[in-house]
Structure 1
């Protein structure tokens, strides 16, 4: 009985690891329930991913406007500690790298140049 329980636990862990990594590699665009993907909230704004773009909306409400729209699939946006810049992962030039863009808009700046996938988890105050 103990071996069966251990095998079931092992299978569950393997399933969880593989399904999570597959979901992180290829997010789906869903027309309704999945519209707001990977949201991040600052004192004044909310940034999120939808339909291959980064969108920015005032925290108090209003219309969302595209923040970055080059072809690619941005994901995991995060505000800088001062709320003036957004960093995110995207695959604009082949590999998934880290980019930054001012909240006011502009051209995304590529921070990393690495052939492997790089994902953003957050900022440090420095």
Structure 2
């Protein structure tokens, strides 16, 4: 059931991004699209909260593996670059295309780097007891 809520959250996020794009392309309908976007954002947050509440609890969260560094790094690059491209699309369409191409190149470079150094990337683990000096 949690996966259904997360899927609904992703669909509402996609619809919110489409509404944002349409408000950039159709500037005369911005008031109506702003109201739609606001409702979509609330639906997204509600779906994410519902998915979190329905997710079965694990006794030890260290047993569940997180996403690999190459996946999480690439997702951050693509999301940031796409958001930047959407923000400048109305005023400077050529800059938006340049940002999206640069995002693809940097995303591929991050994927390759994180694949090569996957064992060296991760959280710090400290062993032993802390002593006061």
Shorter-chain TM-score bucket reads under 0.3
**Higher percent of residues as helix:** 2
Q: TM-score, normalised by structure 2?
A: 0.23
**Higher percent of residues as strand:** 1
Instruction: Determine which structure has greater relative contact order: mean sequence separation of CA pairs < 8 Å that are 6+ residues apart, divided by chain length.
Output: 2
- From the CA coordinates, give the structure whose radius of gyration is larger: 2
